Amino acid sequence: MSGLTKKIVALAGMSAFVAGNAVAADLTVVSWGGAYTKSQVEAYHKPWMAQSGHSIISEDYGGGIAEIKAQVESGNVTWDVVDVELSDAIRACDEGLLEEIDHSTLPAAPDGTPAVDDFLPGTLHDCAVANIVWSSVYVYDSSKVRNWNAPKTMGDFFNTDAYPGKRGMRKSPKVTMEFALIADGVPVSEVYDVLGTEEGIERAFAKLDTIKDDVIWWEAGAQPPQLLADGEVIFTTAWNGRVFNAVAAEDQSFEMVWDGQIYDLDLWVIPKGSKNVEAALDFVRFSTATEQLANQASWISYGPARASSVPLIGTYHDNAAINMADHMPTAPGNFANALQNDFEFWADNQDDLNERFNAWLAQ
Amino acid sequence: MDVSQPITAADGTPLKKKLAQAMFRSKLRATGLVVPLLAFVLASFVFPILALMWQGIHNDTFARLMPNLTEELRVWDGVSDPTEEMYALLVADLRQNRADKTIGKVASRVNQELAGTRSLFTSTARKAKKLEPPFKEALIKTKKKWGDIKVWQAMKLTNQSLTPGFYATSLDARYTVDQGFVMKEEKRQIYTKLFVRTLMISGSVMLLCLLLGYPVAYLLATLPLKYSNLLMIMVLLPFWTSLLVRTTAWIAILQSQGVVNDLLVWIGITGDESRFSLIYNMTGTIIAMTHILLPFMILPLYSVMKTIPPSYMRAARSLGATPTAAFIKVYMPQTVPGIGAGGLLVFILAIGYYITPALVGGQDGQLISNMIAYHMQKSLNWSLAAALGGLLLLGVLVLYWAYDRIIGIDNMKLG
Amino acid sequence: MAKLPPYTTTGERIWHYAFRFICGLIFLFLILPVLIVLPLSFNVEPYFSFTPGMLSLDPEAFSLRWYKDIFRNGMAAPDAPFDMAWLADTWNNAQWMRAIRNSFFIGICATLLSTALGTLAAIGLSRSEMPYRRLVMSILISPMIVPLVITAAGMFFFYSKIQLSQTYLGVIMAHAVLGTPFVIITVTATLVGFDKSLVRAANSLGAGPIQTFFKVQMPLIIPGVISGGLFAFITSFDEVVAVLFLASPEQRTIPRQMWSGIREQISPTILAVATLLVLLSIILLTVIELLRRRSERLRGITSS
């Protein structure tokens, strides 16, 4: 029986700790993990905790609105603030899963410009406030000696004759199909018009067919730098901030190819029924202030969503030789041939293209 | 003693009745012991699964959220032009959904039936308040698509709460208003192929397990106990080790910078630039699953082989059979129950596998469970997930029934 | 090893050793993956492969850094001096520590629930008077058979409706259901060999049913109950699908943490955790083996 008694004692101890834990957590902030979450912890969480006296539990997730939907519909909302992609923010808002955020309560720029004028166009939505502009690009490892010329264009990514080897791509039609069309010669301004037609979809898949046997599909943002560092692939598509982090913090010699980059927003949303709406709103206001957004840019190369933050962007927190502004997706040298992700197109066609993409993968 | 008199117990009641009473009491006692668990399993396991299955044929999102339009759509024949009244009811429902913030749900549901309609609903709902009659004209003016009969057909289909549509999709068909069930074009077919692949991978894993498990079980059953007990640990330790640990280990072993490839490069079988792809594909899935399920094959085989007296083989040999003939004609037939038990168990467990394929399967090593999880967590098409799950469950239950018939669940053993 | 009889032919001899060699390879296939994580978890480099330094047994190539990482990752101040505050910090904030606490808490609760219910049911099921025995048995075993994705999806919807998803209770209930088949199978197996005349003997010597149960039946089936409980515990401890569907980050368990680790960033910390889990399974396996022997010994005395 002594074993049983021990168990019970242990159990009682455990539940005390579990309960203690639940009380201590003031705000659960959910983001994409890795270097990106770290930049948010440094630039947003820590100063906010110091200022407000609340504590934050930081959680990682893999995107999508499944968890938010599950929590809201079960009435048991444990996430207070979530970092989501634009098309997901719009969809979740339409389905009534998010709290509305009053834009007039967002902090004004230091020079007094109201928030609604200071945020870049398209970055404020009924239920969501953008914090960063990020971009999908492709990368190669310049330290590995290979006998080819450095790739310059999106076309090179798909050119298996000149660049033989495995390629990493995100396992999702989003971005992948656009890249295929850009590589196939569609001007960035026409990509979504072409993709909106049956022939355009066929064309994208036909282009993808040419590299299908050479693709390793990744799903989480931390995977592509790993794949590249391990030598599993010669090229991989990736999120520019993750690549930058591998270069700046882990001394990898990765080179990004900015041609045909597709940029998108990450936004804060608050699931409807959050138990800490007031604190969550306060956190969103705090973190999207000019200074915080500019601060984050010293940790990772994602562009701030406010115009007034741009002049404040400094150098990398760890290395004054790296001027962060040069590494932003919006830096003039990088922005020459860029495409903005069309959230409405994806909101409409996501289900269908996902299905076709999966069918294509299974062939 | 008078034989016609019923035999009585000590208290005078007839013995037959007394026995029946005692029997009833012991039945009650046995049932009483089982009931708490049975109730628990029914409530927290069987019922949720039944509810899930219900979702596979029933989805009332549209009918519930578009209450004005629903009746009109039901009587509409699906081919004639929609009337002004239908348009007016549509506008009324759109306004209501806009106010309730539920328009996204309606839009998602119709979008499952007809791609490209989500923004049609959400953007029109935003403007619905300002629309003036005649609504037909007004709607078509806002978005040309409202004049398209296909949109209305899609609404009529989603309006039907009890629908075979999701099962049709699970079998790569479409359920339509005017033509009934239509097979999808070749390049859009995915689920039937995935079911076939699931069966093939499970079959390969089962055969590999048999191939590897049979000799090991034979060795264990024929060695003296003190050796076999020691070797048994090698079977049981992986069995007791976390699935995630074993999957991680296989990643470390098989990845292109992993142990096996390093070894092959070192020996010189392959060059540093042309390492083998052993993981993140079907090969990786099959190797890892075989390893994980092998103990489930060895243990039943072993327990059957343990019961076969070695004297049978000796008798066969002394009667002039060659060792091979004796083994095939005398020994093997007796192990058939073990082969059946192990094979079925491995196959049943394999077709529902999710974790290992998800982690090491890459693109061609995914099974049907991965697709179910995808629809549960990513596409949020829960009814389709339920329909796919229904088909998978049906397959598993048939095998389970066969297992019970042939082997009997009572005979299931663990270690 | 057993000696070969003198009359074996050369061919048979060759086959005999070839067969043992093949079996050796299969055993290697079985055990190697479990053991290979051990040395790799001490790698000083963040890689999954043996470095030249490790192969030449250079002590510099080995380190405990990934084990330290289990305690440090997620801490507010990992570099603070080692004292009570540091311990409290790691206990409360380190991600792996949270997962370890959750795994044990959920595993122990689920085990108690499934062992209690499962043992009672197994005793009932082993009585020949039990009506619809076969049907009931097949329902009670089915959680082991039904694909986990289906189980988890069904529970996800149902538990969401009754406010149990994303709670400890929900995860515990799910794991308890998944663990009961193992309890039933092991306890039934012990009861099959149980000599019924012992109960009658106890009764005739004046023991009541309750006294008989605790003094006669219980000591005989207790090894089965405990090994069933251990099976239930390891089932919960290893389970990840239900956790993926039902748990919020607050209830994140070890396998769940490994799952996201493997999908996102394979750091050797996972190998360090894996090594600890292998040690745990060795301990559990030893306990089970001792229990089995004890049970055989007990029944060997009673039934012959």
Residues C86 and C123 reside in one and the same domain: no
More confident residue, C39 or B412: C39
What value does the mean pLDDT take over residues B2-11? 71
- The length of chain C in residues reads 304
**Regarding beta strands A81-85 and A27-31, do their DSSP bridges make them parallel or antiparallel, or are they unpaired?**
parallel
Residues in chain B with CB shorter than 8 Å from the CB of A350 are 379
Instruction: Write out the two tokens for B145.
Output: 């698509």
What value does the mean pLDDT take over residues B194-198? 94
Asked if A260 contacts A179 with a C-beta cutoff of 8 angstroms, the reply is yes
Residues in chain C with CB shorter than 8 Å from the CB of B410 are 137, 188
∠ CA B239-B241-B247 to the nearest 5 degrees?
100
Cβ of residue C30 closer than 8 Å to a chain B Cβ = yes
B176 domain-assigned: no
pTM for this prediction? 0.88
Residues C194 and C283 reside in one and the same domain: yes
Nearest neighbour of B119 by CB, restricted to A216, A344, A351: A344
Residues in chain C with CB shorter than 8 Å from the CB of B253 are 32-33, 36
Cβ of residue B124 closer than 8 Å to a chain A Cβ = no
User: What pLDDT is stored for residue A6 in this prediction?
Assistant: 44
Distance of CA B309 to the CA centre of its chain: 40
DSSP for A202-252, please give it: HHHHHHHHTTGGGEEEE-STTHHHHHHHTTS-SEEEEEHHHHHHHHHHH--
Residues C116 and C222 reside in one and the same domain: yes
Residues in chain B with CB shorter than 8 Å from the CB of C22 are 215
Q: Which CB contacts under 8 angstroms, 24+ apart, belong to C66-75?
A: C66/C41, C66/C42, C66/C267, C66/C268, C66/C269, C66/C271, C66/C272, C67/C41, C67/C272, C69/C267, C69/C269, C69/C272, C70/C94, C70/C96, C70/C97, C70/C269, C70/C272, C70/C273, C70/C276, C71/C96, C71/C97, C73/C269, C74/C98
**Domains held by chain C: number:** 3
User: What pLDDT is stored for residue B413 in this prediction?
Assistant: 66
Residues C108 and C136 reside in one and the same domain: yes
CATH classification of the domain holding C151: 1.10.3720.10
Which of C222, C265, C269, C290 to mutate to test binding with chain A, by most A CBs within 10 Å of its CB?
C265
Burial class (CB in 10 A: 0-12, 13-18, 19+), B147: middle
CA distances from A89 to A23, A183, A266, B375, C176 (A): 29, 29, 9, 19, 37
Nearest neighbour of A34 by CB, restricted to C102, C160, C265: C265
Q: How many CA atoms lie within 13 A of A75 on its CB side?
A: 7
Q: Which CB contacts under 8 angstroms, 24+ apart, belong to A48-52?
A: A48/A282, A48/A283, A48/A286, A48/A287, A51/A286, A52/A279, A52/A282, A52/A283, A52/A286
- The length of chain B in residues reads 415
Main-chain phi, psi angles of A90, to 5 degrees: -65, -45
Q: What is the pLDDT along chain C (304 residues), one digit of tens a residue?
A: 456 777 778 888 898 899 999 999 999 999 988 888 888 889 887 777 777 778 788 888 888 888 988 888 777 777 888 888 888 888 887 889 989 999 999 999 999 999 999 999 998 998 878 889 889 999 999 999 999 999 999 999 999 888 888 889 999 999 999 999 999 998 888 887 677 788 888 888 888 888 888 888 888 888 889 989 999 999 999 999 999 999 887 888 999 999 888 876 667 888 899 999 999 999 988 888 888 787 777 766 443 3
Which of B27, B34, B353 to mutate to test binding with chain C, by most C CBs within 10 Å of its CB?
B34
Residue partners of B20: CB distance under 8 A and separation at least 6: none
User: What pLDDT is stored for residue A15 in this prediction?
Assistant: 43
Cβ of residue C148 closer than 8 Å to a chain B Cβ = yes
B58 domain-assigned: no
Which of A76, A79, A274 to mutate to test binding with chain C, by most C CBs within 10 Å of its CB?
A76
Residue partners of C176: CB distance under 8 A and separation at least 6: B40, C109, C110, C111, C113, C114, C117, C232, C236
pLDDT over threshold 80, residue A105? yes
Residues B212 and B311 reside in one and the same domain: yes
Nearest neighbour of B116 by CB, restricted to A66, A352, A355: A352
Beta strand segments in B146-291, E = 173-176, 180-183
**Regarding beta strands A339-340 and A254-269, do their DSSP bridges make them parallel or antiparallel, or are they unpaired?**
parallel
Residues C122 and C59 reside in one and the same domain: no
Residues B200 and B157 reside in one and the same domain: no
Residues B89 and B132 reside in one and the same domain: yes
Instruction: Write out the two tokens for B277.
Output: 């792809």
Helix residue spans in B223-278 (DSSP H): 225-240, 243-254, 259-267
Rounded to whole angstroms, the Cα distance separating B5 from C275 reads 75
Residues B112 and B204 reside in one and the same domain: no
Q: Which residue of C has its CA nearest to B408?
A: C134
Q: Is B174 helix (H, G, I), strand (E, B) or coil?
A: strand
Chain C closest CA to A74's CA: distance in Å? 5
Which of B55, B209, B244, B394 to mutate to test binding with chain C, by most C CBs within 10 Å of its CB?
B244
B182 domain-assigned: no
Rounded to whole angstroms, the Cα distance separating B121 from B139 reads 11
A257 backbone φψ class: left, alpha, beta (φ>0; ψ -120 to 50):
beta
C149 domain-assigned: yes
- The alpha carbons of chain A give a radius of gyration, in whole angstroms, of 22
Q: What is the mean pLDDT of chain A?
A: 86
Residues B47 and B70 reside in one and the same domain: no
**Regarding beta strands A339-340 and A56-60, do their DSSP bridges make them parallel or antiparallel, or are they unpaired?**
unpaired
Instruction: Name the pLDDT band for A58 (thresholds 50, 70, 90).
Output: confident
Asked if B294 contacts C27 with a C-beta cutoff of 8 angstroms, the reply is no
Instruction: Write out the two tokens for C188.
Output: 């039934």
Kindly state the DSSP code that residue A274 receives in the 8-state scheme.
Answer: -
B79 domain-assigned: yes
Q: What is the mean pLDDT of chain B?
A: 90
Sorted by where each starts, the structural domains of chain A and their CATH numbers stand as 2-133+266-324 (3.40.190.10), 136-263+332-362 (3.40.190.10)
Chain A closest CA to C87's CA: distance in Å? 14
Cβ of residue A50 closer than 8 Å to a chain C Cβ = no
Residues C89 and C143 reside in one and the same domain: no
What value does the mean pLDDT take over residues A34-42? 89
Rounded to whole angstroms, the Cα distance separating A311 from A299 reads 16
Comparing C-alpha atoms, which of A43, A63, A34, A62 is closest to residue A241? A34
Residue partners of B25: CB distance under 8 A and separation at least 6: none
pLDDT over threshold 60, residue B2? no
B173 domain-assigned: no
Q: Which of A32-41, A313-322, B291-300 has the highest mean pLDDT?
A: B291-300
Residues C22 and C88 reside in one and the same domain: no
**Most distant pair of Cα atoms in chain A: their distance:** 76
**Regarding beta strands A167-170 and A124-125, do their DSSP bridges make them parallel or antiparallel, or are they unpaired?**
unpaired
Residues C14 and C147 reside in one and the same domain: no
Residues B296 and B150 reside in one and the same domain: no
C2 domain-assigned: no
Q: Indicate the residue type of A136.
A: S
Q: Indicate the residue type of C274.
A: A
Enumerate the β-bridge partners of residue B14.
B8
B38/C139 CB distance under 8 A: yes
Cβ of residue C22 closer than 8 Å to a chain B Cβ = yes
B323/C12 CB distance under 8 A: yes
Residues C103 and C89 reside in one and the same domain: no
Residues C173 and C280 reside in one and the same domain: yes
User: What pLDDT is stored for residue B298 in this prediction?
Assistant: 94
Q: Which residue has the tokens 């007839």?
A: B14
Q: Which residue has the tokens 């963040």?
A: C46
**Domains held by chain B: number:** 3
User: What pLDDT is stored for residue B314 in this prediction?
Assistant: 86
Q: Indicate the residue type of C178.
A: L
Comparing C-alpha atoms, which of A270, A304, A266 is closest to residue A119? A304
Distance of CA C53 to the CA centre of its chain: 35
Comparing C-alpha atoms, which of A248, A309, A279, A265 is closest to residue A28? A279
Residues C153 and C60 reside in one and the same domain: no
Residues B68 and B44 reside in one and the same domain: no
Residues C256 and C157 reside in one and the same domain: yes
For the stretch A145-177, pLDDT in tens is 677 888 999 999 999 999 988 899 998 999 999
Q: What domain range includes position B7?
A: 1-51
Q: Indicate the residue type of B293.
A: L
Asked if B128 contacts B94 with a C-beta cutoff of 8 angstroms, the reply is yes
* Cα dihedral A32/A33/A34/A38 (nearest 10): 100
Residues B13 and B70 reside in one and the same domain: no
Asked if B111 contacts A351 with a C-beta cutoff of 8 angstroms, the reply is yes
Q: Is B5 helix (H, G, I), strand (E, B) or coil?
A: coil
Q: What domain range includes position C209?
A: 99-303
C1 domain-assigned: no
CATH classification of the domain holding B225: 1.10.3720.10
Cβ of residue A24 closer than 8 Å to a chain C Cβ = yes
Asked if B295 contacts B237 with a C-beta cutoff of 8 angstroms, the reply is no
For the stretch B66-119, pLDDT in tens is 999 999 999 999 889 999 999 999 999 999 999 888 998 999 899 888 888 888
Residues in chain C with CB shorter than 8 Å from the CB of B355 are 240-241, 259
Comparing C-alpha atoms, which of B297, B373, A42 is closest to residue C259? B373
Rounded to whole angstroms, the Cα distance separating B239 from B246 reads 10
A76/C250 CB distance under 8 A: no
Residues B202 and B331 reside in one and the same domain: yes
Enumerate the β-bridge partners of residue C194.
none
Residues B44 and B69 reside in one and the same domain: no
Cβ of residue A228 closer than 8 Å to a chain B Cβ = no
Residues in chain A with CB shorter than 8 Å from the CB of C102 are 18
Q: Indicate the residue type of A130.
A: A
pLDDT over threshold 50, residue A11? no
Residues in chain B with CB shorter than 8 Å from the CB of C292 are 415
Nearest neighbour of A223 by CB, restricted to C101, C160, C264: C264
Rounded to whole angstroms, the Cα distance separating A109 from C199 reads 84
B175 domain-assigned: no
Asked if A28 contacts A78 with a C-beta cutoff of 8 angstroms, the reply is yes
Cβ of residue B380 closer than 8 Å to a chain A Cβ = yes
